[in-house]
């Protein structure tokens, strides 16, 4: 008989929230935001068609349905965790080598590895930065986070995120009496150019700028250096949405103009087809997709 089961991620989040009777503590345990916990709980309640929690002013309580659901679910996760740990400790190589470009590694992946280590403490991770795509034959690489068009038919490919391009700069760079209102207003400032990406002229044209006169500005060939220059107040850069997400969140960068240009490229997780469903490969893929969703 075919099992009818809710999404696994929603079940994990509900189990943690029910055990702690706290969305905040569940978020801390799972290394996600409280908003992500609330979203998953709501999705599970909608899937089941019943409320699982009673939301009070400063607390939550399980409903009758929530109490009925939480106990067996905790037991099931305990059994699954114990069996998984036993299998991994005896039969599976717990080392993953992940390759990617240095900008992706430094600006996005590295700040999130703590979450991966906390979720899978028995996993050993090696990060290898590359300047071209791997063939997975001559190099000791299990997975690669690629930026491209996704057309790699000989490999197992999972799309992670689209990318948009838009101006970013330090909040200290903008003068209070001279805010940017129109696309061509960026030309009042020094521009930072990324030699490997969409040009300022392309963005300005797509944004409908009426007058495009570019200066030489500051030019770099690595996106993470471009971002650091922008944070340092050297000028305005074209931010890559995935790579600048954390800097926008913590306020070290701001987005002075709303217009965004959708890139022709996106981010993908790539590996050989014959290892795509191995336990650590699929575990890393599930973790990575959740991190992308939360950020």
Question: How far apart (Å, rounded) are the C-alpha atoms in residues 45 and 60?
Answer: 15
With 70 as the cut, is the pLDDT of residue 87 above it?
A: no
Q: Which CATH code is given to the segment(s) 163-263?
A: 3.40.190.10
Confidence of residue 57 (pLDDT cuts 50, 70, 90): confident
According to the model, what pLDDT value does residue 272 have?
92
According to the model, what pLDDT value does residue 92 have?
56
149-180 residue pLDDT tens: 999 999 999 999 999 999 999 998 886 546 67
Confidence of residue 29 (pLDDT cuts 50, 70, 90): confident
- Write down the domain spans for the chain: 8-91, 95-162+266-294, 163-263
75's CB contacts (< 8 A; 6+ apart) are none
To 10 degrees, the CA torsion angle through 175, 176, 177, 181?
80
Q: Which of 94-108, 166-180, 187-201, 237-251 bottoms out in mean pLDDT, i.e. has the lowest?
A: 166-180
With 90 as the cut, is the pLDDT of residue 208 above it?
A: no
Percentage of the chain beyond pLDDT 90 is 47
In sequence order, what are the beta bridge partners of 161?
A: 267
Query: Do the first three CATH levels of 8-91 and 95-162+266-294 match, i.e. the same topology?
Result: no
According to the model, what pLDDT value does residue 93 have?
63
253-280 residue pLDDT tens: 999 998 999 999 999 999 999 889 888 8
176-207 residue pLDDT tens: 546 678 888 888 889 999 887 778 888 998 98
Nearest 5 degrees, angle CA 193-CA 245-CA 157? 90
Mean pLDDT, all residues of the chain: 87
Mean pLDDT of 210-233: 83
According to the model, what pLDDT value does residue 265 have?
92
DSSP string, 106-157: IIIIGGGHHHHHHH-TT-EEEEEE-SS---SSSS--SEEEEEE----TTEEE
pTM to 2 decimal places: 0.67
- Tokens found for residue 183: 């696309």
Percentage of the chain beyond pLDDT 70 is 95
According to the model, what pLDDT value does residue 186 have?
87
Q: What homologous superfamily does CATH list for 95-162+266-294?
A: Periplasmic binding protein-like II (3.40.190.10)
Mean pLDDT of 239-247: 92
Q: Kindly give the pairing relationship between strand 53-55 and strand 218-220.
A: unpaired
36-46 residue pLDDT tens: 899 999 999 99
The third-level CATH classification (topology) of the domain covering 8-91 is Arc Repressor Mutant, subunit A (1.10.10)
Confidence of residue 6 (pLDDT cuts 50, 70, 90): confident
With 80 as the cut, is the pLDDT of residue 212 above it?
A: no
């Amino acid at each position: 008989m075919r099992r009818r089961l809710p999404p696994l991620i929603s079940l994990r989040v509900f189990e943690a929230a029910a055990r702690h009777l706290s969305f905040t503590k569940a978020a801390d345990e799972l290394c996600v935001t409280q908003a992500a916990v609330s979203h998953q709980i709501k999705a599970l309640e909608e899937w089941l068609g019943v409320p699982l929690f009673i939301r009070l002013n400063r607390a939550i309580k399980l409903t009758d349905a929530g109490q009925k659901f939480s106990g067996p679910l905790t037991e099931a996760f305990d059994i699954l965790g114990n069996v998984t740990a036993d299998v991994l400790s005896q039969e599976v190589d717990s080392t993953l080598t992940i390759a990617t470009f240095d900008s992706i590694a430094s600006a996005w992946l590295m700040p999130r590895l703590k979450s991966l280590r906390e979720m899978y403490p028995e996993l050993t991770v090696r990060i290898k930065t590359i300047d071209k795509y791997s063939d997975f034959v001559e190099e000791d690489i299990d997975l690669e986070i690629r930026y491209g068009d996704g057309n790699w038919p000989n490999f197992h490919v999972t799309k992670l995120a689209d990318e948009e391009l838009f101006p970013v700069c330090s909040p200290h760079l903008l003068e209070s009496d001279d805010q940017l209102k129109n696309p061509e207003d960026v030309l009042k400032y020094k521009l930072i150019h990324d030699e490997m990406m969409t040009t300022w002229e392309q963005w300005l044209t797509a944004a409908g700028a009426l007058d495009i006169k570019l200066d030489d500005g500051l030019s770099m060939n690595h996106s993470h250096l471009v971002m650091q220059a922008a944070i340092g107040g050297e000028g305005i850069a074209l931010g890559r949405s995935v790579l600048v997400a954390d800097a926008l969140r913590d306020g070290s960068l701001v987005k002075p103009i709303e217009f965004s240009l959708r890139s022709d490229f996106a981010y993908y997780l790539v590996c050989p087809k014959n290892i795509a469903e191995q336990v650590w490969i699929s575990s890393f893929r599930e973790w990575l997709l959740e991190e992308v969703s939360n950020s």
